[in-house]
Amino acid sequence: MSESPERPSTMPQNVDVVIVGAGFSGIGLGIRMRRAGYKSFVILERATDVGGAWRDNTYPGVACDIPSHLYSFSFRTNPDWSRMYAPGEEIWDYLRSAAREEGLLPHLVFDADMLRATWDDTESRWRIHTTQGDFTGNILVAATGHLTDPKFPPVPGLADFPGALFHSAGWDHSRSLSGKRVGVVGTGASAIQIIPEVAKIADELVVFQRSAPYVNPRLDRPFSESDRRLFRRDPSAMTEMRERLFWYGDYTFAARRLLPAFLQEARDRALGHLAAQIEDDELRAKLTPDYEIGCKRILSSNAYFPAMAQPHVRLETAALSSIEGSRAISAHGNSYEVDALIFATGFETYDLPSSHRVLGRGGRSLAEHWGDGGMQAYDSISVAGFPNLFLLNGPGTSLGHNSLIYMIETQIDHFLGAFEWWLSNGQPELEVSTRAEEAFGRELDRRAAGTVILHGGCSSWYLDPRNGRATLSWPDFAHRFRDQCEEFDPEIYTATA
Amino acid sequence: MTITADPDAALLGAAVSGTVKAAGVDVQYYDSLEETPGRAPIVLVHGTGGTTARHFRFLFPMLATAQRVVAVDLNTDTTAPADMGPHAYADQVASAIEEILPDRRVSLAGYSLGAVVAATVAARRADLVDRLVLMAGWLKTTAGQALRNQVWLDLHRSGQQDTLARYFAFCAFSDPFLNWRTRAELDALIASVASDDATRHQMEMNRTVDLTEVAPTIACPTLIIAGTDDQMTPRRQSKALFGAIPDARYTEVTSGHAMVAERPAELVHLLTNFNGSPDRYPAGEIIPSRMP
């Protein structure tokens, strides 16, 4: 952070709570810890600044697809959002000033990549080995997120491509795309924001599409100075907007539950938008999804379809299958000469890299514990065999229909309940049983079975391909997550002290 | 009890639908069947101009993800005198509960006129109802409500269907909700407004509602839900019910009268939680609004 003071030379190496990750989860938890008066914690961050996804994703056009008045902390609302869907940089700034103004800088350790976190059974604490030295904590919070580690498809010839090649989450701003022939791989949430921007400057643009996304109209608008002054003068105006957005999001869950009338309404909205923006029958057919709406993330954009209709933009309706020199070749055998290739191909989601680095009882990693059965956690937060470990924004938290910040805040409340109980009850080991973890996982499977995620005829990043479970997903109303998973119940956790 | 296929049953995701003979008439009902331990079945009663499909197409199937749900379509005898009040409807609901859920005590939830009906059932049949939810209900029709009602009846009598529908939409939905609709959505909303004879009969009945004697005799835990922007049964009416019913707690949703369309997911949240633990908030509590 440019404004940050010098890092204290004596960062405490042994604390109550070690938080790994300084994105929305880690910063949110840090703020709530500070506000509650807790000081014995550190936040380890592998990069050089806070911000998580909003630090890493700097591609042209980056923005959140949840409106900013909802995609922000309820305990730190912001009257000054510039528009309904604020640009990514503004969200990053929001997190940076939150960290600074809430007094988190003394708790943050940057460039501290967690190489291994090991539960020490004798001392009953976590030992965290990082690129900035070792830390110990009674409690470990993995606020490591799940859209953090870029994923490239295994395309032969990728390593030998002579032009610019990068992932959407690692944009190389030193490589100008002006006047270039550019290939964009993918048509997901990042791609549809990137494509209209690249189309403005590239000479030619080819988009590799495995399956077409549903795209809704984006009800975006700038907030005027008058709007913002009202938000400052009367914060209840912000609350009302936040509420409206939240409950509308939960309304759209009815379509995810495959209710015919609501599915039809959702299809009409997205396909009506496509029909209104694309006149050409052939192009419209190519841009029409072949699976049920909601199976993959429903996107929103007013610029994507018009960009695809431009004469210098080509839509290739097949995956990129190989690269030969500077030619990008699709699974249909079509070949395109390109100067640059952008991979908007998403992130590791079902086999989280961080899960290989956290070792619980008996030295078993989270990844080993879960095995091919896939990720799960009691209340989406605690795992058997991993005492005093809490996962934020991990398995069973992802949503297609509402704001992740709501889920994160719910988990922060669960954690704080646990932490307060731990402090006032002799600091015992907090661990859930295999039975509790398993029962919770099966219950989520049961609910997911009634949703479009499993019945929509698509493969999405919510699914673990090894077992077909929607391990990343919370397959219910967002509000029900808070109703059911917010409260810490000491009886579920084994207290051994 | 007759089980029949019904197009609305598919729309609602009901496991069973059919008719029961209740208080001498056929009453259409829908039942999700699947039970959830710890939560009583919820019985839904629609409001003026409604049916289960019209008012509860979200609530019925989504409540059913967490408890058994039964709903009835009130059968209106348009030849009966309108000033007889909600008693005939209350008899239908009570008989339907006895028939569909024999020996069960239920969570009875009514919306608008359905709230008036549900309160009447709860007062007269404490043996059937052990939890009561009143959404956008009212205690006693006020002069303001009667004026609005008179405009509706005048428009109906003079056959001004389009104006009637627009006027009703204006009254039923909150301004922010209308303002967030597209033109096409707004038109569809207006086109869906009911003005048939049963609706007219119910509107006439609404002019003389008076629960002032009945409400204080309701003994079961009651949740009262008011819409902040309700122009048809203003939230003061829900507050009046809150004062009248001994074991009542009160909360608001940011909505017009049509809360079943404007805030259905929030209603699922409120009804499901109240059904699971009715005493989470004590009698007399004003439950604060929920910052998401």
Of residues B65, B254, B269, nearest to A243 (C-beta): B254
Q: Which residue has the higher pLDDT, B125 or A3?
A: B125
pLDDT at B290: 82
Distance from CA of B34 to the nearest CA of A (A): 14
Domains, in order of start, for chain A: 14-50+104-149+348-495 (3.50.50.60), 158-222+227-343 (3.50.50.60)
**Mean pLDDT (whole number) for B217-228:** 98
pLDDT higher than threshold 50 for residue A9:
no
Q: Does A304 touch chain B (CB under 8 A)?
A: no
pLDDT higher than threshold 70 for residue A101:
yes
pLDDT at A460: 85
**Mean pLDDT (whole number) for A13-21:** 96
Of B138, B129, B136, the C-alpha closest to B42 is B129
**Mean pLDDT (whole number) for A337-355:** 94
Q: Which residue has the higher pLDDT, A494 or A283?
A: A283
Distance from CA of A28 to the nearest CA of B (A): 15
Helix pair angle (B264-276, A478-485), 10° resolution: 20
Confidence band, pLDDT 50/70/90 cuts, at residue A11 = low
Q: Does A269 touch chain B (CB under 8 A)?
A: no
Q: Does B19 touch chain A (CB under 8 A)?
A: no
C-alpha B111/C-alpha B140 separation (Å) is 15
C-alpha B283/C-alpha B292 separation (Å) is 25
What three-state secondary structure class fits A445? helix
pLDDT tens digit sequence for B242-259: 999 999 999 999 999 999
What three-state secondary structure class fits B151? helix
Tell me whether residues B272 and A260 touch, CB distance under 8 A: no
**Mean pLDDT (whole number) for B187-194:** 91
Other beta carbons less than 10 A from residue A438's beta carbon: 15
Domains, in order of start, for chain B: 2-143+202-276 (3.40.50.1820)
DSSP string covering B183-217: HHHHHHHHHT---SHHHHHHHHHHTT-B-TTTGGG
C-alpha A242/C-alpha A224 separation (Å) is 18
Q: What is the DSSP letter of A91?
A: H
Confidence band, pLDDT 50/70/90 cuts, at residue A10 = low
Q: Does B192 touch chain A (CB under 8 A)?
A: no
pLDDT tens digit sequence for A265-301: 999 999 999 999 999 999 999 999 999 999 999 999 9
pLDDT tens digit sequence for B102-122: 999 999 999 999 999 999 999
pLDDT at A441: 97
Give the residue on A whose Cα is nearest the Cα of B290: A243
Distance from CA of B254 to the nearest CA of A (A): 8
**Mean pLDDT (whole number) for B167-195:** 93
Enumerate residues 6+ apart whose C-beta is below 8 A from B106: B40, B41, B42, B43, B70, B97, B128, B129, B130, B131
Cα A295 to Cα A337, A349, A469, B94: the distances in Å are: 33, 16, 13, 42
pLDDT higher than threshold 70 for residue A195:
yes
Give bridge partners of residue A135 from the DSSP assignment: A128
Q: Can you read off the two tokens belonging to residue A405?
A: 């910040």
Of residues A74, A247, A406, nearest to B265 (C-beta): A247
Instruction: State the ipTM, two decimals.
Output: 0.96
pLDDT higher than threshold 70 for residue A12:
no
Per the listing, tokens 């988009």 go with: A207
Which residues in chain B have Cβ-Cβ distances shorter than 8 Å to A253? 62, 265
pLDDT tens digit sequence for A410-463: 999 999 999 999 999 999 999 999 999 999 999 999 999 999 999 999 988 888
